[in-house]
Structure 1
Amino acid sequence: PPHAAARLALGVGGAALCCEALCASGVLGRLVGPGALFALCLLAVALLTAGADACLAAVTAVAEAGDGHRPRPRGQLRARPATVPAVAATAVLLALAVGTAGSWALPACCAPLLLTQFVLRRRAPVRATHRRTLASLARAPEVAGCTPCGHARRVADLSRAVGRELGLTGGELTALEYAALTHDIGQLSLTDPVPGGATAALEPGRQRRIALLGGAVVRQTGVRWRVASAVEAQADPYREQCVTARVVRTVNAYDDLTAGSHTAGPSARERALRTLRTATGRDHEPRVVEALSRVVSRAADV
């Protein structure tokens, strides 16, 4: 949106002008000099830039919503943990460029940044289309009676939580969610549905065939190749799987063992986790099982 580009230009440009005064040739630069005080001044500029960007984002969000609900600037800051230091670092570099080449360097350097943001914004509708497509695919096995209702969404939500527990971020979490949503697509190829949708009891050959067919369908959606690879690897030993496939496999088994019940008691949850721990020789990575155990324990305490 135009307001996002305007915020970027205002934030980076304003911080750059502030940092220019801190350069050796600037007014404050001659007073501050290099050292701890100079670093504190840079930090102050970064915080001011973050606060200004958060306030502008809250105002534009209210204008777009039109319902009188004003987002909190603190929440806007939490939503931009990586953007704030990136803007501050870019501003320092721009200030050095302006100090060397003059004020015309500011718009010249901002142009590539705005173009990059424009390209990234154009990708957002594509990602939204992928998400809707995969959500529809995830519902197909449920509508066909191959898997329990809500199974794919439960596995996806819990997989994201386990992925965060393991330190996954950004695109890794998105790929994990997509793989979890579509991990049962291959069951549509079965003539007779598996009771409860639990394919773990099938012979390895049939499990492998279901996984490969599911991966082939996912590849046709145009999502990242690692999503389809994670779906295809569901029947492989965990030592041959990527971390995405390992998480989906373990969380899927947990949901099958607890019958997808969010109200399962502590004994039922512990039995399910104990079953997973006993299968760590081939099927489940101990690190993933323990991460799942921590996530489930915290959810039960809430």
Structure 2
Amino acid sequence: MTEAAPIAPAPARTNPPHRIGLTRPLIIGLAVLVAVGTLLATLVTGFDQPQVALAFGVLVGLGELARITLPGHREVAPIASAAAIAYAFLITIGTESVSHTAWQVIAVVAVGLLLGELPHIMVGQSPHWGDLARRLLSLSVLALVFRPIVGFVGPEGELWWVSLGLMAGLVVMVWALDSVAAAAIRADRLHTRFRVTLRDEMRAQLPIGMAIGASGILMALSAYVMGLAALLVFTAPLLVTQVAFRRFAEIRLTYLQTVRALSRVTEVGGYVETGHSRRVSELSQAVGCELGMRESDLLELEYAALMHDIGQLSLRDPIPSGATVLAAPREQRRIAELGSAVIRETGVLDSVAELVRRQCEPSAGDGDDGPPPLGSRIIKVTNAFDDLVGESKDADRTAAVLQRLRMDTDHEYDGSVVDALSAVLNRPASRW
């Protein structure tokens, strides 16, 4: 990094300590209490129809073993969840009525989830305990509401549609509650706003949630005609759905890995410091979360931040250490325009290209287009910060650079973005 004019140390701005996220530990603790309590209660009273319990428990375990991770680090187990819902909704198997309690449903599902998780643990994969706890608690609510009234509903007779409607309503209710819990955990983890994560969670989980719920209901109702064979019949289409979601997640991951590899070209070529693009990307996402950006906007911000310096590849004489903040405004604009043109060639990243193109504009804009997008303003601030600080951990230097950025908030930098950056840097868990 090129040494700029000496920056006089400035007193660090003190921000109130960020609240510690307690949602995830509380949900995990509650799930453990529910699992242990129901298992002990079931062991004392005995399992009703153990063969049926074993069949559903095995399917839950296999489904947990085949769980998938969706974009946004969301861990789901469609087959396990559908089997758990079916067991909670089970009314008859053929002509034989079932009478297992809600406690038995929860105990069987808890054991199945744990057994399905063990192989992942044995190969060194760290479980997402929060997601696992949410799955168990969602099933618990479903079972506790439905099992006490199972004697008043059934899959036959003129009022069969009442049973179907009740099951569908309970699935929607539990899906909404699960989305709220997932959003609370995500808001704590990302230090962002709950209403933003709630909207993101509902949008992300709606397709897979409806597929799981419908499959679980069909399994339970079809057992009246097909017996336990319904488990295999309705697991097959759900498995196809799971493969499709897994393929989608893999494509998204490959896409991101390609962008990350492309962003490193400027580092390999010596145009910017090693790690600069990664640091700007991570810091930009943290600032975006602090400002309450949606998940889709955060993804575009990540792409744009990774490739914000790609325009430097077109320079005949590289900027020393790639510190564009030290370049003339006209040169900064030229680099941004060249980078945007390269990104537009992909044909699918036009919004990302626009973020890159406008990253050098003042916070209020400098033309008829108005202020640049929030993502562009974030990249402008985080890029300037990393250009001046780099990998340094010196607290005085960090405080001095923040003070320097604040001095330019009247024109160059967005004051709210600089404040968000300061909040991110002052967190106890911040790597800076």
Same fold? TM cut 0.5: yes
Task: Tell me the distance in 2 between the aligned counterparts of 1:151 and 1:202.
Answer: 16
Task: Tell me the distance in 2 between the aligned counterparts of 1:103 and 1:263.
Answer: 67
Q: Could you say what secondary structure the match of 1:183 adopts?
A: coil
Q: Alpha-carbon deviation of 1:182?
A: 0.8
> Within 5 A, what are the aligned runs for 1:154-173?
154-168=279-293, 170-173=295-298
> Within 5 A, what are the aligned runs for 1:51-200?
55=114, 58-62=117-121, 65=123, 69=124, 71-72=126-127, 74=129, 76-77=131-132, 81=182, 114-168=239-293, 170-200=295-325
- The answer for the alignment partner of 1:16 in structure 2 is 86
- The answer for the alignment partner of 1:214 in structure 2 is 339
Deviations 1:109-147 (A, max 9, x none): 877755443333223343333233222222222233221
Unaligned 5+ runs, structure 2: 1-62, 69-75, 92-96, 136-181, 183-200, 365-370
Q: Alpha-carbon deviation of 1:297?
A: 0.9
Say whether the 8 Å CA contact 2:259–2:306 is kept in structure 1: yes
2:394 aligns with one of 260, 264, 279: 264
Change (3 A) 1:294 1:186: same
Change (3 A) 1:103 1:284: farther
- The answer for the alignment partner of 1:296 in structure 2 is 425
Q: Could you say what secondary structure the match of 1:298 adopts?
A: coil
Change (3 A) 1:301 1:219: closer
Say whether the 8 Å CA contact 1:238–1:246 is kept in structure 2: yes
Q: Alpha-carbon deviation of 1:229?
A: 2.1
Change (3 A) 1:148 1:7: closer
- The answer for the alignment partner of 1:251 in structure 2 is 382
Change (3 A) 1:261 1:96: closer
Unaligned 5+ runs, structure 1: 32-40
Task: Tell me the distance in 2 between the aligned counterparts of 1:78 and 1:200.
Answer: 46
Say whether the 8 Å CA contact 2:325–2:387 is kept in structure 1: no
TM norm structure 2: 0.53
- The answer for the alignment partner of 1:37 in structure 2 is none
- Amino acid paired to 2:67: A
Deviations 1:228-261 (A, max 9, x none): 2211221233343222222222111111122x13
- Amino acid paired to 2:114: C
Say whether the 8 Å CA contact 2:272–2:322 is kept in structure 1: yes
Q: Alpha-carbon deviation of 1:71?
A: 3.5
Deviations 1:84-129 (A, max 9, x none): 9867776666666678887789989877755443333223343333
Change (3 A) 1:92 1:261: closer
More helix by share: 1
Say whether the 8 Å CA contact 1:159–1:247 is kept in structure 2: yes
- Of structures 1 and 2, the one scoring higher in RCO (CA 8 A, sep 6+) is 2
Q: Alpha-carbon deviation of 1:14?
A: 2.4
Say whether the 8 Å CA contact 1:7–1:56 is kept in structure 2: no
In the comparison of the two structures, how many residue pairs are matched? 280
- The answer for the alignment partner of 2:409 in structure 1 is 280
TM norm structure 1: 0.72
Task: Tell me the distance in 1 between the aligned counterparts of 2:112 and 2:362.
Answer: 48
Task: Tell me the distance in 2 between the aligned counterparts of 1:221 and 1:241.
Answer: 22
Moved over 4 A (4+): 44-49, 51-54, 82-116, 299-302
Q: Alpha-carbon deviation of 1:184?
A: 0.3
Q: Could you say what secondary structure the match of 2:293 adopts?
A: coil
Task: Tell me the distance in 2 between the aligned counterparts of 1:198 and 1:187.
Answer: 10
Task: Tell me the distance in 2 between the aligned counterparts of 1:76 and 1:4.
Answer: 11
Q: Could you say what secondary structure the match of 1:192 adopts?
A: coil
- The answer for the alignment partner of 2:14 in structure 1 is none
> Quick check: 156-165 or 77-86, which moved more?
77-86
**Rg bigger for which structure?**
2
